[in-house]
Homo-oligomer: A and B are copies of this chain.
Amino acid sequence: MAQNKQIVLDNRPQGEATTGNFKLVQSETPTLQDQQVLVRHHFLSLDPYMRGRMNESKSYAQPQPLGEVMIGGTVGEVVESRHPRFAPGDKVVGMGGWQEYSVVNAQEPGMLRKVDTTHVPLSHYLGAVGMPGVTAWYGLVKIINPKAGETVVVSAATGAVGSAYAALAKARGCRVVGIAGGPDKCAYAVEELGFDACIDYKVHGDLKSLSQALKQACPNGIDGYFENVGGYILDAVLLRSNAFARVAVCGMIAGYDGQPLPLANPALILVNRLKIEGFIVSEHMEVWPEALAELGQLVGSGKLRPRETVAQGIEAAPEAFLGLLKGRNFGKQLVKLI
């Protein structure tokens, strides 16, 4: 038994999300049943998809229930176990939620996975060698499927997904161009993440300006695009797309608050014979082993050195999450819980 601080969803956002949507509660962890494991979380992952779950409206997933602990990926250490495959001290990754401890029914497949921290720091299992990394891998490899020499673009370039995307695309011989907010992020993208170029959308705040910047950064046009954002950024990329370009749609962060977010010119789908495909990485578990193996090698060999922004303590999670939605984080956004 331990004192467990938890963040629950108290009420749903009206438009923009605020810290008032969340509530901190505290409880004692329950006595373990057979097959259960008690995990102490070291890090909580904050990810844009969580914003979608806060809405009541139809989406691909059930909405986050009110009054329950916010969902989220976690890494931590087993402190007590009534399951034969887990022992105290094991490092594990799971979906423990916004709280300091979780009790896991470890017999259910996929609930808890032991990880090796010899070459990969524990926190990276929430980023480059976790769900965001596999997300980048699926969109790039399975949807965009680029040939060497092609130009591929990603928005939110310095985030956990964008960082992995750059390393995976360079490994395939592509020209890779990022879109990010601010000169620091753009410099980091080129100097540290291996992007060939990075465009600051804060400097290019409308369709025409961004489209011009893309033309310069992608002199041979765009063959693949990984969409994390939506809005005029998608419009600008489609304007610069080559025939038979592929667009992997992973996020529409610009639309989470409910504002209308039209696509200006869908006729380009026909004109450029585009393929646009939405996906959710948790529906493609069959690719995870292959993807995680490549991502682990990229991190282990130093070719992918993901940056992290770390907030301290569960109380800091709501503010850090809202900052993530505004792009205030730099690299993978985590909350450290020990």
Mark A residues whose CB is within 8 Å of B. 58-60, 230, 234, 243, 249-252, 255, 260-267, 269-280, 283
The residue in chain B whose Cβ has the minimal distance to the Cβ of A256 is B267
| C-alpha spacing A275/B248, complex, angstroms | 10
Q: Contact check: which of B234, B273, B280 meets A280 at CB < 8 Å?
A: B273
The 7 residue pairs across chains A and B that have the minimum distance between CB atoms: A262-B262, A263-B263, A270-B278, A269-B278, A263-B266, A252-B267, A276-B276
The residue in chain B whose Cβ has the minimal distance to the Cβ of A61 is B271
Judge whether B234 and A270 touch: CB under 8 Å.
Answer: no
| C-alpha spacing A273/B271, complex, angstroms | 22
Which residues does chain B contribute within 8 Å of A275, judged by CB atoms?
Answer: 275-278
Known: A262-B262, A263-B263, A264-B262. A276 touches B269 (CB 8 A): yes
Which residues does chain B contribute within 8 Å of A283, judged by CB atoms?
Answer: 273
Q: Contact check: which of B266, B270, B280 meets A262 at CB < 8 Å?
A: B266
Shortest CB distance A273–B (Å): 5
| C-alpha spacing A58/B260, complex, angstroms | 28
Shortest CB distance A45–B (Å): 20
| C-alpha spacing A255/B269, complex, angstroms | 12
Shortest CB distance A131–B (Å): 16
Which residues does chain B contribute within 8 Å of A273, judged by CB atoms?
Answer: 60, 277-280, 283
Judge whether A266 and B60 touch: CB under 8 Å.
Answer: no
Q: Contact check: which of B252, B267, B274 meets A270 at CB < 8 Å?
A: B252
* Other A-B pairs beyond A269-B278, A272-B278, 17, CB < 8 Å: A58-B271, A60-B243, A60-B273, A230-B267, A249-B270, A251-B270, A252-B267, A260-B264, A262-B263, A271-B278, A273-B278, A273-B279, A273-B283, A274-B278, A275-B276, A275-B278, A276-B276
| C-alpha spacing A143/B279, complex, angstroms | 17
| C-alpha spacing A59/B265, complex, angstroms | 13
Residue picked from A60, A249, A250, most chain B C-beta under 10 Å: A249
Which residues does chain B contribute within 8 Å of A265, judged by CB atoms?
Answer: 260-262
| C-alpha spacing A288/B328, complex, angstroms | 53
Shortest CB distance A129–B (Å): 24
Shortest CB distance A267–B (Å): 4
The residue in chain B whose Cβ has the minimal distance to the Cβ of A255 is B267
| C-alpha spacing A93/B331, complex, angstroms | 60
Shortest CB distance A244–B (Å): 9
Judge whether B270 and A60 touch: CB under 8 Å.
Answer: yes
Judge whether A270 and B250 touch: CB under 8 Å.
Answer: yes
Which residues does chain B contribute within 8 Å of A277, judged by CB atoms?
Answer: 269, 273-276
Give 14 pairs: A residue, B residue, CB < 8 Å, sorted on A.
A60-B243, A60-B270, A252-B266, A255-B267, A261-B267, A262-B262, A262-B263, A262-B265, A262-B266, A270-B278, A271-B278, A272-B278, A273-B280, A274-B276
Shortest CB distance A85–B (Å): 33
